[in-house]
Amino acid sequence: MSLKLVIIGGGSSYTPEIIEGIIRRHQSFPVTDIVLVDVKEGKEKLEIVGELSKRMIEKQHLSINLSWTLDRKMALRGADFVSTQIRVGGLAAREKDERIPLRHGFIGQETNGAGGIFKALRTIPVMMELAEDVHSICPEAWIVNFTNPAGIITETLLKHSPHKKVIGVCNIPFNMRQSTAEILNVNPDTVQIEFVGLNHFVFGSKVNVSGKDRTAEVLEKLRQGLDYSPANIVNLGWSKTFIEAVGLLPNPYHQYYFQTKEVLKKDMKAFKENGTRAEVVQQLETSLFNIYRDPDLREKPKQLEERGGAFYSDVACSLMDSIYNNRRDVQTVNTMNNGAIPDLPHDAIIEVNALITGDGPIPIAVGQLPAQVKGMIYEMKAFEELVVRAGLTGNYNDAYTAMLMNPLVREEEGSKLLLDELLEAHKAYLPQFNSRGN
Ligand code: G6P
């Protein structure tokens, strides 16, 4: 029997991670075919990653056919799973998302604030086209989306594309769980964190270890400096008052919203000294690809852990494994609310623990939003809806109001300034705006 995985954005430096994950799970998730797909600008990287992936598979003597192509439609034929990890416009576009806001005194980040809005606007048309292709070529396939902003992209596809077998994943809940297990000195499999909120805006509301509530202890550890930030975020710590009053585990991205001034100061300094994260990542990528080129390299190199998305493949691979085996285990995903959080719309995409079945995720009821964060979660969801609308239609006013309502911008003059400059900077990747004459 064949089991085919297509990786869109296969030339990404992260691909060896997912290959490693597939190799590790080969007994229970016996993939027979992997096709790496990329665009022509990524051809060279695709070949390097393709060759390395082949060597990794050969080393384990597994019979997995791995190939790579620029022909997406052809690759999708017969796919069972399609994982997506694309960056429209590449790191050069990310650099603009980070630099332009910083130049005007706003946080420039690839998934939050003005930068995040534009990453979404560039990505939405491409992902909609992909979902349409999947729906017509391999309608039974699951799309496992890691493409950022993962929550917004998953919301776009699940609500507006014809394809409904879409699940969003992120490494943040996974990192939170791993680090919690480490600090408590327990096996990560025994740790369950209940999550409430949205991608990159999720809170941990309860920590359970082997059935025992250890939330208070983890909150105390957080106060003492427990750090589960990915490589792209420098933890600033949380005050005693914040932890005690909020009583929830913040995720590393919350620093943008609750420590805004400090983060801006820190980012400005880094920007002046070493450039933005995109520039750091460009250097990292150059050295990673040099390492990947080595014909003697037959495994995922340790250096990949310097990327913020490290370990995402564990999330993506466990998810596919559980769907394939109808495991009904609990994993944290981005999926349709369906009443899990009664105060959010039924069809809103939330980041939540879900039972992973052969028919997809079933979100586990969380109950009402905690009063202390309810307002911000509502606000972020409303903001995401505006971004989705703007991304689909190219409507200037929707894009403007998304900018205006984002807590990291929220300024009349600044919103227009950032919007116009970013629209111009990214116009090659914004067909929906160009065709409307904006
Ligand atoms: C994080 C996030 C990802 C993000 C990445 C950036 O962990 O969860 O959504 O894409 O890191 O990492 P990078 O190494 O590209 O700065």
Q: What is the pLDDT of residues 304-318, one digit of tens each?
A: 999 988 888 889 999
User: Within 275-364, where are the H helices?
Assistant: 277-293, 312-325
Q: Is the CB of 172 under 6 A from ligand 1?
A: yes
Residue 58 domain-assigned?
no
Q: Cα(262)–Cα(394) distance, rounded to whole angstroms?
A: 34
Rounded to two decimals, the pTM is 0.97
Per the structure, the count of domains in the chain is 1
The reply to whether 395 falls in a domain is yes
Instruction: With a cut of 70, say whether residue 436 has pLDDT above it.
Output: no
Domain range holding 406? 373-434
The answer to whether position 322 is within a domain reads no
Residue 170 CA to ligand 1 centre (angstroms): 9
* The pLDDT value given to residue 309: 83
Q: Is 253 one of the catalytic residues?
A: yes
Task: With beta carbons less than 8 A apart as the criterion, state whether 157 and 127 touch.
Answer: yes
Domain contains 363: no
Q: Which ligand 1 atom is nearest residue 306's CA?
A: 14
Mean pLDDT of 399-411: 98
- Partnered with residue 361 across adjacent β-strands are 356
8 Å CB contact between 150 and 168: yes
Whether the Cβ atoms of residue 93 and residue 430 lie closer than 8 Å to each other: no
Tokens of 168: 């969003």
Judge if the beta carbon of residue 171 lies within 6 A of ligand 1. yes
Residues 20-54, buried b or exposed e (16+ Cβ, 10 A)?
bbbbebeeebebebbbbbbbeebeebbebbbbbbb
Q: Which atom of ligand 1 is nearest to the CA of 280?
A: 16
**Tokens matching residue 334:** 């981005």
pLDDT score for 438:
47
Q: Is residue 257 part of a domain?
A: no
How is 226-256 classified by DSSP, letter by letter? Answer: -----TT-------HHHHHHH-SB--GGGHH
Whether 243 maps to a domain, the answer reads no
Q: List, as one string, the DSSP characters of 25-89.
A: TTTTS---EEEEE--GGGHHHHHHHHHHHHHHHHHTT---EEEEES-HHHHHTT-SEEEE---TT
- pLDDT tens track for 2-48: 999 999 999 999 999 999 999 999 999 999 999 999 999 999 999 99
Q: Is residue 392 part of a domain?
A: yes
What is the amino acid identity at position 319?
Answer: L
In a domain, 84, yes or no: no
